[in-house]
Structure 1
Amino acid sequence: MTQDKDAPLREDIRLLGRLLGDTVRDQQGAAAFGLIERIRQNSVRFHRDDDDGARRELEDILDALSREQTIQVVRAFSYFSHLANIAEDQHHIRRSRAHLIAGSAPREGSLAHAVDTVLASGATDAAGLAAFLDTALVSPVLTAHPTEVQRKSILNCETVIARLLDERDRMQLTPDEAEAALEALRRAVLTLWQTRMLRTAKLSVIDEVNNGLSYFGTTFLHELPRLYASLEDRLTATDPGLDGTELAAFLQVGSWIGGDRDGNPFVTAEVLDKALSMQAAVALDHYLAELHALGSQLSMSQGFAGASDALLALAERSPDKSPHRSDEPYRLAVSGIYARLAATYRRLLDHDPARHAVADAEPYAGAGELADDLDTLHRSLLANGSAALTRGRLRQLRRAVRVFGFHLAPIDLRQNSDVHERVVAELLETACPGTDYRARDEAGRCALLLEELATARPLASPHLAYSAETEGELAIFRSARRAHLRYGTAAIRNCIISKTDDVSDLLELAVLLKEAGLLRPLEKALDVNIVPLFETIGDLENAAGVMDRLFSLPIYRELLAARGQTQEVMLGYSDSNKDGGFLTSGWALYKAEGELVAIFARHGVRLCLFHGRGGSVGRGGGPSYQAILAQPEGAVQGQIRLTEQGEVIGAKYGNPEVGRRNLEVLVAATLETSLRPADASPTPMAFLDTMQALSDAAFSAYRSLVYDTEGFERYFWESTVISEIAALNIGSRPASRKKSTAIEDLRAIPWVFSWAQCRVMLPGWYGFGSAVQAFLAQHPGDGLALLQRMFREWSFFATLLSNMDMVLAKSDLAIASRYADLVKDVALREEIFGRIRAEHQATVHALLQITGQRELLDGNPLLKRSIRNRFPYLDPLNHVQVELLRRHREHGEDPRIRNGIHISINGIAAGLRNSG
């Protein structure tokens, strides 16, 4: 009999649903429970049996709800979405463990599979792979964006529930233990129900920093060292000669939180300073706690375990003079290290750690000194027959110090090129009136900027007054310089220029860095990477030309030498999608990467691509493994950074084991892509020409609807929750760059998020159906066969269609039609929604034709199962949200209705998982 592998998942979902139902009955009464249960049963019946009667009854019930009933229903189904997510994550962990226990072959995306694949290909051997990682960089970068609808208190409750489910799964419990475990789960669900889902005040940047830091304590500080150890052990098992080899710190977590100023006036020098100190506190607290535990473990007496001279010297320098530890040199050494680190804590953070040292000591000058002392412990244990003791807590701590230093995570600085331009223009005009920088053409600007970069003379003077904007920008860079001196140069490594149009945008930033001492012309020193961000379709098309002109400047090439002849380029997925649609954005990114690879190779510069991917497909999201493997040849040269945004951070890294899996995926894909044998056969020209034709047609269809249809802007604002999202306390940045409702000014994040909420998902598919129809009309004989071949043989095209498959499966035009009914202009509503419905039908038909699937997601049974499990609980939220929007817009301000709308936004986002 075949084992039903999904039975434990269904059991967990039923258990959590029953506990939630019991909680609702106890807290809200039997009538509320009965109402919610009727809604649940009808929704499940409709989804399972496609029962129109069930749908009509469901809609009748939902439309007749009172305000109080509406809030109860929204809360119940929102919390169920959260609980279903927990159950799914636990099932992924369960299945992964089952594969490992059974000794199954390594799965795609695992480190083991990546190492085996690379070695089997003959691209390198184990020693070569270790050497390759010396210059590699894999970095997920956490960003705070206005789609993170989760409160940290809710995340804390969910962490408890996940832990309890995991314990039930792994342990064989006695009847009493099982009852106690069930009771603990019941308490956890009750706590979740009684915890406020929404914030009462708008999030500050420091709140966002604090939220981001929680993932370090939960996941990164523990799981990154374990991942390094696993990879080292895998390589050693392959080549015993590598025993003792320690890999370079190639995998690191970055952050934008506290440094991203683009459109966020609340990110100031003071906020950056605070973010840096908060990060340092998390790192140092972790090290101190680990040292305290390590001291209790390394209890060896000198009479039974030898110690090196260096270790004995370290013990001798320890301020710990307790006679009880006089013959325990390792404990004394750890006590001394702890005292020095506690002193470092005081120096960096201006207060004492929670647990004091035994006595005062000299602080460390930098994290390297701490690492050296831990290495002394390691080497002494190795040399004296205690190698096993080096592989536990000490190994994890040594790796953590090398990865996280005293700064925890590098904070990127980001600002819009328009701001840099205004600041540089003011500095030049104040220093030399009549310069009129902004009136100059590109050549004139570059000439003036290069002149400034050739001299060490500063432009700004402490004796002159500048605008608040200029003072604020200069203060940020001076704060970055202080951070380098305080925490080390790893604290801030990158300065990113949004809306990069030309070479002058990069040179303007270089001039501002010079003002703060981060660029020193006489030393030809550059302390941070200058990173252009190409965002729109036009920017992506011009990217290679801009970099070609930049690399032709001798001054810049000299500065680049200080950065190891490596140049980072960031590509924007969100704005290019909003600008040109899903298909054209993906194609423009692919072409830009290929062109950049060629330009960089010609100039002898190493390329590091930074992918500004969001969680949703409309913002470049989708499975990271496939996305990295689908990059053009040479685009991933062992170095890749990518953003982790919004609620996706919680989904990927809130659970330590799920987080470890996601980190493995990034490393595995980077290794496989960078070290795969050169493709003997380039992508066929027919594929490239076809893709260009599809892109042109999709672009035309998308622009025609979004930018050229009169009234579309009004349709968008009336048929989605964009107005309510703009008012929700889910981020420190405004939803639009300017005070307008124009699509051009709207941030890409709430644009995508709004379309997800109403289940249209337009940014993830619109235009593809029209493009395929046009192509097949022009190639009636062999067109479909060519598209099918592209899907089979070209990973880029296959990944595009796979992501679109996921988005289309999460869309629901029947539900979307109810949102369309909110548009007051009937003619406008019918015209635009009619076009959306027709394009949706054409796109689904085209996708199924090309992939050969009978239904959406036939090729992704795991996601298909997930949707089957969760959507009966998601659809009622959409129906209620529509009714709440109608009441809110017709009857004005009612706090309860507004509260219900916001809870429904939270629940729908949780149910969709990658909506923003």
Structure 2
Amino acid sequence: MTGTSDSSVATSVPTASRAATEPLRDDIRLLGGILGDIVREQAGDDVFDLVERARVESFRVRRSEIDRADLAEMFTTVDTADAIPVIRAFSHFALLANVAEDIHRERRRAIHVRAGEPPQNSSLAATYAKLDAAPVDPEIAAAALTGALVAPVITAHPTETRRRTVFETQNRIMELMRMREWVSGDRSETDDVDAQLRRQILTLWQTALIRLSRLRIQDEIEVGLRYYDASLFEVVPRINAELRDALRTRWPDSGVLADPMLRPGSWIGGDRDGNPFVTADVVARATHRASETALERHLAELEVLERELSMSARLVTVTPELDRLADASGDESAFRADEPYRRAVRGVRTRLTATAARILGHPAVHAVAGDLPDYRDPAELLADLEIIDASLRSHGDGTVADDRLAQLRNSVEVFGFHLCGLDMRQNSEVHETVVAELLAWSGVHPDYASLPEDARVALLTRELATRRPLAGPHAEFSELTTKELGILRAAADAVDRIGPAAIPNYVISMCESVSDMLEAAILLAEVGLFDPDGEAGPRCPVGIVPLFETIEDLRHGAETLTATLEVPLYRALVANRGDSQEVMLGYSDSNKDGGYLAANWALYRAELDLVRVARETGIRLRLFHGRGGTVGRGGGPSYDAILAQPPGAVEGSLRITEQGEIIAAKYAEPRRARRNLEALVSATLESTLLDVEGLGDDAAPAYAVLDELAELARVAYADLVHDTPGFVDYFEASTPVAEIGALNIGSRPASRKPTQAISDLRAIPWVLSWSQSRVMLPGWYGTGTAFEKWVGDDADRLATLTDLYERWPFFRTVLSNMAQVMSKSDMGLAARYSELVPDVALREEVFGKISAEHERTLAMYRAITGHDDLLWDNPSLDRSVHNRFPYLEPLNHLQVELLRRYRSGDDSDNVRRGIQLTMNGLATALRNSG
């Protein structure tokens, strides 16, 4: 592989920007050239020639010099064994292109900084400038940021199939590319770096990209934890400290951000909605490993700190508090008799060692011997660290205190003994079944499921007012109820051992009613987490979080929340949680249910309604956004998405899911992690403290327009997805959705239930399948029809949409995200996948609708925005599309061919592995595939 040819990019990249992108093109040539040499050396000339022929012909297709069918014909007779290294070559190129693009973004950013240009949007520096220009009243800021929280929640995802070895090798290649920039003026050093690059790419080539067996939840837990060592331990505490300092410098008497604002979370091991592999043991393992990761990190840092703080009492005068801490350490070594800091830190290490032994049930790797009491909570550990800090500053060692000790204090503040809160999630239908069985066994009611809603609420409220459990010690239940109670007991045990931060939330999927909320409370009460009679009334350390997912549930979400808050017992519970109530919004299922535009508007409307309820009831609302990586699952640039929220929807708090290959793209190493976390925090601050909606008094008319557009889009989407006979058959035949479930991708089943219904299919395989087939349907379908029907021949209506696009961040973001996903669609390749559908009439009907809507949507986008180029506002993605998309072409054609063979009865290991590899390669190249 020789990298990108000049002619491939010249079709759309202006001459002025070609000079700026030349270093990127050089990097791609370099990496592609090394990869090509290795393919020739390792796989032989025949494979290399096939790879090169596929590459050249792909560019010819791009330039319309040959028909796509001619390229596809290349692969129809290729032996599967020969196809595997071709797939691997193009997959590795996609991975190396990702490295080159990330390096180029760093390069361009550095050029902007050196040129003295204003800081870029989505950086904290830019946000501070906006706050200074506003300016913001300190009291208003302090009130708005009370309880401030930005929580990226790491979530398992089947398209993140990269092994740790591949992950680490990719990071080493990135570091070498950075080093190559630094030594670019020295030929001998450049040659040395190139030799190291060759070794790493050779290692990559000889390392299997995919696992031999299905990923287990235990593996997903470890994958999620690796990002802490990779970047989060370094970056999160630092951002929190800098943010607090910056805001308190601006508002010195406000006391703003008493607690860290940025606090990661996790769903891996606690989300059991439709996942039968989540068990009590899995919950225990997830919380145990998270706690172990945090405690080992703290102990390792303390070990280094003890070596660093060598100050002698003969040379400095420490505070009395530090002296007492040192004397209480039990350290009687004569060598450290005049080193009070080392003795003090040794005492802290000893106590934390005891803490780890209590929580984990085994000695820590960085344990030290001693006989001191453990820390009951992180606050006690912080108090000791603050004594050390104050003493250092008392004799002029503030610069020392601001280094490792400060980072450790900030780390303990945010990660505590738990690392990240593990959310629990289950479907409301399961709750109903389990609660009904508990009530029947205890003699409270023989048939709870038959009761109307009012009677259910009355019964559940009475039960919640008592402390008696429904199940006795010898009760025998169904397998489902036994399993659910076991999982909840494991969660309660984690709270007891690690602290309440270990399990912060209980999310109720498909929440539709007050009884759905109260059933979750009953189950929490059953394991002792809900206490109806605390000192100030009912208390529960675990927040009960409704998840509104479908279009209908989103429409009625505010009504459900209002009715729940009207239950006195529940309102008292919320009061005892600081009058705070979290609500989760489901982007994926609402999109699958109603289509792209209808779902986006339903979410916006739901947020407006929930904000109104919060103001009317006096609660503090925190929204949890269940966004996926791709636009079809609520993806797109996080900064823009947060600024596009309605007024009052952020209010200093934001939780957001981060999934799969998106996690690697954002958090694989510190620089990218810093950039992406800054974007989340910056957007949260701006949405909270500044007026970003931009509609003013024109909000109501704008909302009315979107009401009409959303309904038109929903009808158009339903006509295809829900109302076209045979659509499910078309979907299953024209995409690799069936193979996603069959080929050991991810730890969970593709569907919640064993049915063919779209409603039961998980959103991830739904979106992933359309991405692989290059249709990208969830990110745009129905929108073109809605715009076209609403506008008609009325120029004023078109002008209205153009005005909204220019003034309203929500509408602009919706169209921008749609354009981004459409830039990755390819109806020519999609047509190849449609040929897998055996029913010709069905194929022509469904693909005809899809391709016509695609053209319609493109035309309306251009008419509204005035831009022919879909990526006019995203030059980095524009570069990516033109640099790498010809390299995706062979992967798509090979996937179609291998699917054809697999479905014709060839289920050999090579065919199965080839399909998996094409999925991996396309997911890597598209970067936000599912």
The TM-score, its normalising length taken from structure 1, stands at: 0.97
Which residue does the alignment assign to 1:213? 225
Shift of 1:131: 6.8
Choose from 360, 370, 386 the match for 1:375.
386
Choose from 876, 879, 895 the match for 2:893.
879
Shift of 1:360: 4.1
Q: Which moved more, 1:507-516 or 1:340-349?
A: 340-349
Which residue does the alignment assign to 1:23? 38
- Indicate whether 1:789 and 2:803 are aligned: yes
Shift of 1:358: 5.2
For 1:890 and 1:24, the matched residues in 2 are separated by 30
Which residue does the alignment assign to 1:81? 94
Which residue does the alignment assign to 1:868? 882
- How many residues align? The count is 911
Shift of 1:794: 1.3
Cα–Cα, structure 1 residues 89 and 794, in superposed 2: closer, same or farther, change >3 Å? same
Aligned residue for 2:849, secondary structure, equals helix
Q: Which moved more, 1:746-755 or 1:432-441?
A: 432-441
Kindly provide the CA deviation profile for residues 59-111 of structure 1, in whole angstroms up to 9, marking residues without a partner as x. Answer: 34333422222111111001111111111112222223333344331110011
Which residue does the alignment assign to 1:513? 524
Aligned residue for 1:896, secondary structure, equals helix
Which residue does the alignment assign to 2:133? 120
Which residue does the alignment assign to 1:177? 189
Shift of 1:128: 6.3
Which residue does the alignment assign to 1:687? 702
Cα–Cα, structure 1 residues 138 and 356, in superposed 2: closer, same or farther, change >3 Å? closer
Which residue does the alignment assign to 1:713? 728
Aligned residues of 1:319 and 1:358 also touching (Cα < 8 A) = no
Choose from 56, 62, 81 the match for 1:68.
81
- Indicate whether 1:11 and 2:26 are aligned: yes
- Indicate whether 1:300 and 2:324 are aligned: no
Choose from 565, 573, 587 the match for 1:573.
587
Which residue does the alignment assign to 2:71? 58
Q: Which moved more, 1:52-61 or 1:802-811?
A: 52-61
Give the residue type in structure 2 aligned to 1:453: L
Aligned residues of 1:719 and 1:819 also touching (Cα < 8 A) = yes
Choose from 290, 296, 299 the match for 2:301.
290
Shift of 1:363: 2.1
- Indicate whether 1:251 and 2:266 are aligned: no
Which residue does the alignment assign to 1:894? 908
Give the residue type in structure 2 aligned to 1:97: A
For 1:22 and 1:360, the matched residues in 2 are separated by 60
Kindly provide the CA deviation profile for residues 857-916 of structure 1, in whole angstroms up to 9, marking residues without a partner as x. Answer: 122222111111110111111011111111111243121111111100000011111110
Kindly provide the CA deviation profile for residues 146-188 of structure 1, in whole angstroms up to 9, marking residues without a partner as x. Answer: 3323222221221221122222224567444333222211111
Which residue does the alignment assign to 1:471? 482
Choose from 109, 114, 137 the match for 2:149.
137
Aligned residues of 1:721 and 1:757 also touching (Cα < 8 A) = yes
For 2:155 and 2:53, the matched residues in 1 are separated by 40
Which residue does the alignment assign to 2:570? 556
Aligned residues of 1:160 and 1:188 also touching (Cα < 8 A) = yes
Aligned residue for 2:105, secondary structure, equals helix
Cα–Cα, structure 1 residues 373 and 198, in superposed 2: closer, same or farther, change >3 Å? same
Shift of 1:343: 2.2
Shift of 1:124: 2.7
Shift of 1:132: 4.8
Shift of 1:522: 1.3
The TM-score, its normalising length taken from structure 2, stands at: 0.95
For 1:229 and 1:54, the matched residues in 2 are separated by 57
Unaligned ranges ≥5, structure 2: 1-14
For 1:847 and 1:797, the matched residues in 2 are separated by 12
Q: Which moved more, 1:223-232 or 1:712-721?
A: 223-232
- Indicate whether 1:107 and 2:120 are aligned: yes
- Indicate whether 1:748 and 2:763 are aligned: yes
Aligned residue for 1:532, secondary structure, equals strand
Cα–Cα, structure 1 residues 344 and 172, in superposed 2: closer, same or farther, change >3 Å? farther
Q: What fraction of aligned residue pairs are identical, expressed as a percent?
A: 49
For 1:905 and 1:638, the matched residues in 2 are separated by 39
Shift of 1:738: 1.3
Shift of 1:595: 0.7
Which residue does the alignment assign to 1:40? 55
Aligned residues of 2:145 and 2:257 also touching (Cα < 8 A) = no
Choose from 435, 443, 451 the match for 1:432.
443
Which residue does the alignment assign to 2:712? 697
For 2:257 and 2:731, the matched residues in 1 are separated by 54
Choose from 626, 632, 636 the match for 1:618.
632
Which residue does the alignment assign to 1:385? 396
Cα–Cα, structure 1 residues 190 and 130, in superposed 2: closer, same or farther, change >3 Å? farther
Q: Which moved more, 1:514-523 or 1:92-101?
A: 92-101
Which residue does the alignment assign to 1:273? 284
Root-mean-square deviation (Å): 1.9
For 1:132 and 1:555, the matched residues in 2 are separated by 27
Aligned residue for 2:277, secondary structure, equals coil
Give the residue type in structure 2 aligned to 1:198: I
Give the residue type in structure 2 aligned to 1:122: P
Aligned residues of 1:121 and 1:677 also touching (Cα < 8 A) = no
Aligned residue for 2:778, secondary structure, equals helix
Superposition pairs for residues 572-651 of structure 1, below 5 Å? 572-651=586-665
Superposition pairs for residues 181-196 of structure 1, below 5 Å? 181-196=193-208
Kindly provide the CA deviation profile for residues 779-799 of structure 1, in whole angstroms up to 9, marking residues without a partner as x. Answer: 624121111111111111111
Aligned residues of 1:853 and 1:859 also touching (Cα < 8 A) = no
Unaligned ranges ≥5, structure 1: none
Aligned residue for 2:66, secondary structure, equals helix
Which residue does the alignment assign to 1:462? 473
For 2:688 and 2:699, the matched residues in 1 are separated by 21
Q: Which moved more, 1:888-897 or 1:352-361?
A: 352-361
Kindly provide the CA deviation profile for residues 459-503 of structure 1, in whole angstroms up to 9, marking residues without a partner as x. Answer: 111122111211222222222222122111111110000010100
For 2:709 and 2:39, the matched residues in 1 are separated by 51
Kindly provide the CA deviation profile for residues 550-575 of structure 1, in whole angstroms up to 9, marking residues without a partner as x. Answer: 11111111111111001000010000
Q: Which moved more, 1:593-602 or 1:2-11?
A: 2-11
For 1:464 and 1:70, the matched residues in 2 are separated by 58
For 1:330 and 1:907, the matched residues in 2 are separated by 53
For 1:356 and 1:859, the matched residues in 2 are separated by 53
Which residue does the alignment assign to 1:672? 686
Aligned residues of 1:146 and 1:735 also touching (Cα < 8 A) = no
Give the residue type in structure 2 aligned to 1:827: A
Q: Which moved more, 1:167-176 or 1:116-125?
A: 167-176
Which residue does the alignment assign to 2:666? 652
Aligned residue for 2:578, secondary structure, equals coil
Give the residue type in structure 2 aligned to 1:613: R
Aligned residues of 1:133 and 1:247 also touching (Cα < 8 A) = no
Which residue does the alignment assign to 1:200? 212
Cα–Cα, structure 1 residues 244 and 673, in superposed 2: closer, same or farther, change >3 Å? closer
Aligned residue for 1:531, secondary structure, equals strand
For 1:810 and 1:864, the matched residues in 2 are separated by 10
Aligned residues of 1:70 and 1:900 also touching (Cα < 8 A) = yes
For 1:167 and 1:566, the matched residues in 2 are separated by 48
- Indicate whether 1:164 and 2:176 are aligned: yes
For 1:72 and 1:584, the matched residues in 2 are separated by 43
For 1:242 and 1:5, the matched residues in 2 are separated by 46
Kindly provide the CA deviation profile for residues 25-52 of structure 1, in whole angstroms up to 9, marking residues without a partner as x. Answer: 11011221122112212223433xx233
For 1:246 and 1:306, the matched residues in 2 are separated by 33
Which residue does the alignment assign to 2:408? 397
Q: Which moved more, 1:588-597 or 1:150-159?
A: 150-159
Cα–Cα, structure 1 residues 876 and 697, in superposed 2: closer, same or farther, change >3 Å? same
Shift of 1:433: 6.4
- Indicate whether 1:536 and 2:543 are aligned: no
Choose from 199, 203, 228 the match for 2:240.
228
Aligned residue for 1:432, secondary structure, equals coil
Shift of 1:291: 1.1
